[in-house]
Chains A and B, each alone.
Chain A
Amino acid sequence: MKADPRGVLTGIHFIDGDHACCEGALAAGARFAAGYPITPSTEVVERFASRVPKVGGTFIQMEDELAASITLQGAVWGGAKAFTVTSGPGFSLMMEHIGYAAMTETPCVFVDVQRGGPSTGLPTLPAQADMMQARWGSHGDYEIIALCPNSPQECFDLTIKAFNFAEEFRVPVMFMMDEVVGHMTEKVVIPQAHEIDVVPRKHTHKSVEDYLPYGTNGDQVPEMAHAGEGYNFHVTGLTHDEHGYPNMTPPVQDKLVRRLQSKIRDAADRIAMFEEEELDGADVVVVSYGITSRVAQRAIEVAREQGLRVGKLRLITAWPFPEKKIRELAAKVKAFVVPELNLGQMVREVERAAAGHAKTYAVSHAGGGVHRPEDILKVIVEASRCQTA
Chain B
Amino acid sequence: MSDSLIDIDTNNSAVNPVEPFLRTDRMPHIWCPGCGIGTTVNSFARALIDSKIDLGSLALVSGIGCTGRVAGYVKLDSFHTTHGRAIPFATGLKLANPKLNVVVYSGDGDLSAIGGNHLIHAARRNIDLKVICVNNLIYAMTGGQTAPTTPDHSTTSTNPYGTFEPSFNLPHLVEAAGAVYVARWTTFHVRQLSRSISEAFKKKGFSFIEVISPCPTLYQRRNKLGDGLDTMKYYKEKSKVRNGAPTSEVGLSMTGEIVVGKFVDRDRPDYGSMMRAQFTESLGDKYVEQDEKEVPVCS
Q: Would you call the interface of chain B mostly helix, strand, loop, or mixed?
A: mixed
**A131-182 CB contacts (< 8 Å) to partner B:** none
For the complex, what is the distance from the CA of A58 to the CA of B94, rounded to whole Å? Answer: 11
Cβ of B286 under 8 Å from chain A: yes
Centre residue among A31, A64, A68, A73 by max chain B CB count within 10 A: A73
* Contact segment of B35-43, B84-92, B241-249: B84-92
For the complex, what is the distance from the CA of A53 to the CA of B288, rounded to whole Å? Answer: 6
A208 and B299 form a contact (CB under 8 A):
yes
**B66-101 CB contacts (< 8 Å) to partner A:** 71-72, 75-82, 84-85, 88-97, 99-100
Q: What residues on A are CB-neighbors of B288 within 8 Å?
A: 6, 53-56
Cβ of A274 under 8 Å from chain B: no
Cβ of B298 under 8 Å from chain A: yes
For the complex, what is the distance from the CA of A229 to the CA of B72, rounded to whole Å? Answer: 18
Minimum CB–CB distance for A319 against chain B, Å: 22
For the complex, what is the distance from the CA of A73 to the CA of B85, rounded to whole Å? Answer: 11
**A55-103 CB contacts (< 8 Å) to partner B:** 55-58, 60, 62-64, 66-68, 70-80, 82, 96-97, 100
For the complex, what is the distance from the CA of A90 to the CA of B91, rounded to whole Å? Answer: 20
Q: What residues on A are CB-neighbors of B298 within 8 Å?
A: 207-208, 229-231
Centre residue among B26, B82, B288, B293 by max chain A CB count within 10 A: B82
Minimum CB–CB distance for A203 against chain B, Å: 9
A63 and B279 form a contact (CB under 8 A):
no
B57 and A228 form a contact (CB under 8 A):
yes
Select A236's contact among B71, B99, B279, beta carbons within 8 Å: B71
B121 and A56 form a contact (CB under 8 A):
no
B contact residues, total (Cβ < 8 Å):
49
B295 and A74 form a contact (CB under 8 A):
no
Q: What residues on A are CB-neighbors of B275 within 8 Å?
A: 58
Q: What residues on A are CB-neighbors of B55 within 8 Å?
A: 232
Select B77's contact among A233, A236, A237, beta carbons within 8 Å: A233
A contact residues, total (Cβ < 8 Å):
50
Minimum CB–CB distance for A33 against chain B, Å: 10
Minimum CB–CB distance for B26 against chain A, Å: 6
Q: Would you call the interface of chain A mostly helix, strand, loop, or mixed?
A: mixed
Cβ of A234 under 8 Å from chain B: yes
Select B97's contact among A53, A56, A71, A78, beta carbons within 8 Å: A78
Nearest chain B residue, comparing its CB with the CB of A205: B296
B79 and A77 form a contact (CB under 8 A):
yes
Cβ of B118 under 8 Å from chain A: yes
A70-B82, A235-B80, A238-B80 given; A78·B290 CB < 8 A:
no
Q: What residues on B are CB-neighbors of A100 within 8 Å?
A: 81-82
B121 and A63 form a contact (CB under 8 A):
yes
Nearest chain A residue, comparing its CB with the CB of B55: A232
Q: What residues on B are CB-neighbors of A233 within 8 Å?
A: 77-78
Per-residue CB contact flags for chain B residues 263-289 toward chain A (1 = under 8 Å, else 0) read: 000000000000100010001001111
Minimum CB–CB distance for A313 against chain B, Å: 38
Q: What residues on A are CB-neighbors of B56 within 8 Å?
A: 228-230
Q: What residues on B are CB-neighbors of A75 within 8 Å?
A: 92-93, 95-96
- Ranked nearest first, the 3 interchain pairs of A and B with the lowest CB-CB distance are A74-B92, A78-B96, A236-B80
A: residues with CB less than 8 A from B are 6, 31-32, 34, 53-58, 60, 62-64, 66-68, 70-80, 82, 96-97, 100, 207-209, 226-238, 245-246
Give 26 CB contacts A-B under 8 Å.
A31-B290, A32-B92, A34-B92, A54-B288, A56-B290, A57-B290, A58-B96, A58-B290, A66-B88, A70-B82, A70-B88, A70-B92, A75-B92, A75-B95, A78-B96, A79-B293, A82-B92, A226-B97, A227-B100, A228-B56, A228-B59, A228-B100, A230-B56, A234-B23, A234-B79, A235-B78
Q: Apart from A74-B79, A230-B295, A233-B77, what are 14 other A-B pairs with CB-CB below 8 Å?
A: A31-B290, A53-B283, A74-B94, A78-B293, A82-B92, A100-B81, A208-B299, A228-B56, A230-B56, A230-B298, A231-B298, A232-B76, A234-B78, A236-B72
